[in-house]
Amino acid sequence: MDTTAKVIDILAAQALRDPATIGPEDTLATLGLDSLGLVEVIFALEEAFDIAIPFNANDPGESGFDITSVAGLIGAVEGLLGQKAA
């Protein structure tokens, strides 16, 4: 399974939605995920990809990890995977 599909599957599981209904322009808010849902997504991504996400739940905007959209989240995960491979 590729990174995009895996990230979307994780988001779908947390949002209780069909993965086919999730697009790159969706935000966590449009998926109905609150701050607790976001934290659950972060933990699931870390476990699924064996990465450490630089995320501070108290100040999500300061982490540099893009959570503004599904596409941003996918790009951020791919960036961490690239760093891990280097």
Residue 59 is predicted with a pLDDT of: 67
Residue 35 is predicted with a pLDDT of: 87
- With a cut of 50, which residues of the chain have pLDDT below it? none
Reported as a single tens digit per residue, the pLDDT across 50-73 is: 999 987 666 656 667 888 899 999
Residue 23 zone, left/alpha/beta (φ > 0; ψ -120 to 50; rest)? beta
Measure the CA dihedral 64/5/42/51, to 10°.
Answer: -80
Would you tell me which CATH number, out of the four given (3.40.50.2300, 3.40.228.10, 3.30.1380.10, 1.10.1200.10), belongs to the domain 3-85? Answer: 1.10.1200.10
Q: Which amino acid is at 30?
A: T
Residue 46 is predicted with a pLDDT of: 95
Residue 63 is predicted with a pLDDT of: 66
Q: Is the pTM of this model over 0.85?
A: yes
